[in-house]
Amino acid sequence: MAEGFFTNTKTQLFVFNVVLGLAGCILFVVGIWLLYDPEIAKVASAELKLTWFNHACYAMVVAGAITLLLAFVGCYGANNESKLILILFAVLLFVLFVVNMATFIVGVMYRNKANEYTYDSFKDALSRGYIEDQYYEFKEDVKKIENKFSCCGLRDMNQHGMPCLQDSCLCDPNIGEDCKTYQTFGSSCEIYSEPCLYKVSSFLRQKMIAVIALPLIVALIQFCGVCFVWRTQRNTGENVA
């Protein structure tokens, strides 16, 4: 009877570690995607000080890689019926549970304060002067987000010295774009009615959903694993006795 118990437990541990490995792989791949996806990279620019978005993504990549490695350790411990390795597995699993919960909390914090963080980033990136007066890479990054989100300026459209001379700011009300009339030196032009602040922060909030959901799901799987290993070790002692 004890032999049947050990065989069943070994199978359950192996299945759990396969699930854990898949979860770690997904966490790792999504973290890499969030870091290097061209659409996101175009927005989360170092020139615009928006790299705070990457912090939680790095945590996802590290947690995913360690989770995947830990799944192999768990499979090895289950296959060899090593009590020491399984206890070490459970301890490391709990540590990773804490890491993923921390990633989840950071993701929630960033998402809830996306407007504030984006505003502060844009303020640090351009504390004074006009966008046109900045270096080439900065101006190009601003143009990219203006073209992507149909907006003008970072925190304020007046951060352009001459918005009417910026192709990325000009809009066409005849095709249904949200425009406003900008008066300058006796002439006027139609530019986008909003600065990029709100659209960029909304975009990053949307992308933060993956940073929030995946670490939480993996953390729950890891917590279940800790409980399962603990129960297994206790039942193993009872069956041996």
| Span 161-214, pLDDT tens digits | 888 888 999 988 787 678 888 887 777 888 898 899 999 999 999 988 988 898
Threshold 0.85, pTM exceeds:
no
In 3D, which of 176, 208, 182 has the Cα closest to residue 195? 182
What is the secondary structure of 76-88 as a DSSP string?
Answer: HHHHHT-HHHHHH
CA pseudo-torsion sign 115, 177, 43, 184: negative
How far is CA 39 from each of CA 68, 72, 117, 200, 204, rounded to the nearest angstrom? 27, 34, 19, 12, 11
Rg of the chain over all Cα atoms, to the nearest angstrom: 26
Of how many residues is the chain composed?
Answer: 241
Per-residue pLDDT tens for 53-105? Answer: 888 788 889 888 988 888 888 777 777 766 777 778 888 888 888 888 888 88
Residue 240: pLDDT band (50, 70, 90) is: very low
What is the secondary structure of 131-188 as a DSSP string?
Answer: GGGS-HHHHHHHHHHHHHHT--SSS-GGGSS-GGG-TTTB--GGGT--EEEEEETTEE
DSSP-derived letter for residue 105 is H
